């Protein structure tokens, strides 16, 4: 049985890393996926090529989620073509690390703009669509850094903590409409996001994880599918850790 047959799913950052795995997992479960990417057309083309027969259920859109007009145009287009929305996965995110005392204000702003304001803009329009059907699942991809903090990641941690506060508040606003809103919090996951770490850093971080390895994008995707499922109807305002026991 395909759990997401006939469902419309929006995934941001759909063509690389965790978002790519989430997109493929939903497609394999029968969903139609509307995937957003930003700058990397090559990854978008590669995903389409790798989808084979599932390609007919994947629609890719270039959109900067931190740009209100671009987000509005994206939703106008999908409302015309698909008329409903079942699941939104706010996955797109960036990091621009620096110690706070040395951090450029532009790097503070761009991380907050994309990770937090982008999630807000995407969720705002999604809620309006989901309310019409009195059903929906919104999943925000946060990080353990939101509550642990991490030297050099004040901007990133603030954006991810903001997502959790937004999630818990929105969950209370939409509960009566049968729209659940949750966070998934992945630990160290093997994607381009970890590029730039030295061999020593990788070893040290792996040693911090009780399971002693980094996670895979597929392991995060499994959790997203669970919380996006119809059976997860009593889970809202929650943060689900996928981090090997951090």
Catalytic residues: 156
Determine, following the binding rule CB under 6 A, whether residue 35 of this chain makes contact with ligand NAP. Answer: no
Determine, following the binding rule CB under 6 A, whether residue 244 of this chain makes contact with ligand NAP. Answer: no
Q: Which stretch binds ligand NAP (CB under 6 A): 60-68, 99-107, 123-131, 202-210?
A: 60-68
Count of beta carbons in the 10 Å neighbourhood of residue 35:
26
Count of beta carbons in the 10 Å neighbourhood of residue 99:
10
Complex with ligand NAP: residue 154 or 189, whichever CB lies closer: 189
Write down the number of H helices and E strands in the chain. 9, 7
Decide if 43 contacts 90 (C-beta within 8 A). Answer: no
Task: Identify residues 97-116 at the interface with ligand NAP (CB under 6 A).
Answer: 114
Separation between Cα atoms, residue 213 and residue 191, nearest integer Å: 13
- 3-class secondary-structure state, position 189: strand
Determine, following the binding rule CB under 6 A, whether residue 120 of this chain makes contact with ligand NAP. Answer: no
Which of 4, 10, 11, 13 lies at the binding interface for ligand NAP (CB under 6 A)? Answer: 13
Q: Please tell me the total number of residues recorded for the chain in this structure.
A: 246
Size of the site for ligand NAP (CB under 6 A): 31
Q: Which two tokens stand for residue 162?
A: 């903001």
Complex with ligand NAP: residue 35 or 136, whichever CB lies closer: 35
Interface residue list for ligand NAP (CB under 6 A): 12-13, 15-19, 36-40, 43, 63-66, 91-94, 114, 141, 143, 186, 188-189, 191-194
């Amino acid at each position: 049985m395909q759990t997401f047959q006939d469902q419309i799913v929006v995934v941001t950052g759909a063509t690389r890393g965790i978002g790519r795995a989430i997109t493929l997992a939903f497609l394999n479960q029968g969903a139609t996926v509307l995937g957003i990417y930003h700058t990397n057309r090559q990854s978008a083309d590669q995903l389409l090529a790798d989808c084979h027969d599932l390609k007919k259920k994947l629609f890719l859109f270039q959109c900067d989620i931190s740009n209100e007009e671009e987000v509005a145009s994206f939703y106008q287009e999908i409302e015309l073509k698909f008329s409903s929305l079942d699941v939104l996965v706010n996955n797109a995110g960036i990091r621009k690390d620096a110690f706070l005392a040395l951090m450029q204000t532009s790097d503070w702003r761009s991380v907050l703009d994309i990770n937090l304001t982008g999630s807000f803009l995407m969720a705002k329009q999604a809620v309006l669509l989901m309310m019409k059907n009195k059903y929906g699942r919104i999943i925000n991809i946060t990080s353990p850094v939101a509550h642990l903090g991490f030297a050099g990641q004040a901007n990133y941690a603030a954006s991810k903590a903001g997502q959790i506060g937004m999630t818990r508040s929105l969950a209370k606003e939409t509960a009566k409409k049968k729209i659940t809103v949750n966070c998934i919090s992945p630990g160290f996951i093997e994607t381009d996001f970890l590029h730039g770490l030295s061999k020593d850093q990788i070893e040290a971080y792996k040693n911090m994880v009780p399971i002693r390895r980094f996670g895979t994008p597929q392991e995060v995707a499994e959790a997203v599918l669970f919380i996006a499922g119809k059976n997860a109807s009593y889970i809202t305002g929650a943060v689900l850790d996928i981090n090997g026991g951090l």
